[in-house]
Amino acid sequence: MQRTLFIQSLRSFNCSSISSASSTRAAKFAQKSAPLPASAKSDDYRPTASKATEGSFSWPEYLTIRRSKRRWQNFAAIPCSAIGLMGGAMYFGSLDTDPLKPIFGIDPFIFYGICTTACMGVGYLVGPTLGAFLWRSLPSSKRYGSLIDKKDKEFYKRIAKNRVDVTLQSPTSPVPDYYGEKIGSLHQYRKWLRDQNKYRRKVVFDEAA
């Protein structure tokens, strides 16, 4: 009788141990297979950041950004030139003019016309600066920060290294795109290099002749 009771209690103990072990394994498996919390996902499965926020971007990306910036500068130059022209015309047109009293030895109407044209030129020069400022204020451009300035320095170093020496040019034959302003892609940069080499060979050949 006692032996039978001992065997039954031993079996019940084994069953409870097996069930507890099974529940522990199930809990561990569920914990492993359960989705990660939001904090774990942000740390372990963080999406790849853009190259601009990481600290650099490729030359094709930079040239695309530079082309966009250049467009803003060119577009801003148009209204600034118009504003300068209209402002100069309104100001100098409102002045009292005596045709018998020349200004710096120039007819007053011609002098005021030159001043009005100068106002338009000033607007044209101010336009690109204003366009660059507006471009930097865009939400899509703020994320570049100082990276675009750093890349600009590297780009202009390459331009200064590969362009033709300015002393080789002549008034009738200037160096093509001396500052590389028209470069907006790798294709245009390669074309610019070919133009510089072509101009350099031409000048050296003419000097040797």
Q: What is the pLDDT of residues 5-20, one digit of tens each?
A: 444 454 554 445 444 4
**Do residues 59 and 132 share a domain?**
yes
Is residue 181 in a domain? yes
Return mean pLDDT, the chain: 75
Give pLDDT, residue 141.
Answer: 80
Alpha-carbon distance of 5 to 119, in angstroms, equals: 113
What number is the average pLDDT over the span 159-174? 86
Is residue 36 in a domain? no
Is residue 85 in a domain? yes
Full residue range of the structural domain in which residue 102 is found: 54-146
Instruction: Indicate whether 89 pLDDT > 50.
Output: yes
Domain boundary among 146, 175, 194: 146
Give pLDDT, residue 5.
Answer: 43
Alpha-carbon distance of 128 to 116, in angstroms, equals: 20
pTM beyond cutoff 0.85: no
Domain boundary among 95, 120, 146: 146
**Do residues 115 and 175 share a domain?**
no
Number of domains forming the structure of the chain? 2
Give pLDDT, residue 158.
Answer: 92
Is residue 105 in a domain? yes
What number is the average pLDDT over the span 123-134? 91
Burial of 123 (0-12, 13-18, 19+ CB in 10 A): buried
Is residue 193 in a domain? yes
Give pLDDT, residue 10.
Answer: 43
Is residue 153 in a domain? no
Give pLDDT, residue 28.
Answer: 46
pLDDT category, 108, cuts 50, 70, 90? confident
Taking residue 63's Cβ as centre, other Cβ atoms within 10 Å add up to 19
**Do residues 140 and 78 share a domain?**
yes
With CA atoms as reference, report the closest residue to 196 among 208, 183, 185: 183
With CA atoms as reference, report the closest residue to 117 among 80, 77, 81: 81
What number is the average pLDDT over the span 89-95? 87
**Do residues 59 and 141 share a domain?**
yes
At 175-209, the pLDDT tens digits run 888 888 889 889 999 999 999 999 988 887 765 44
Domain boundary among 102, 120, 146: 146
For the chain, what percent of residues have pLDDT higher than 70?
A: 72
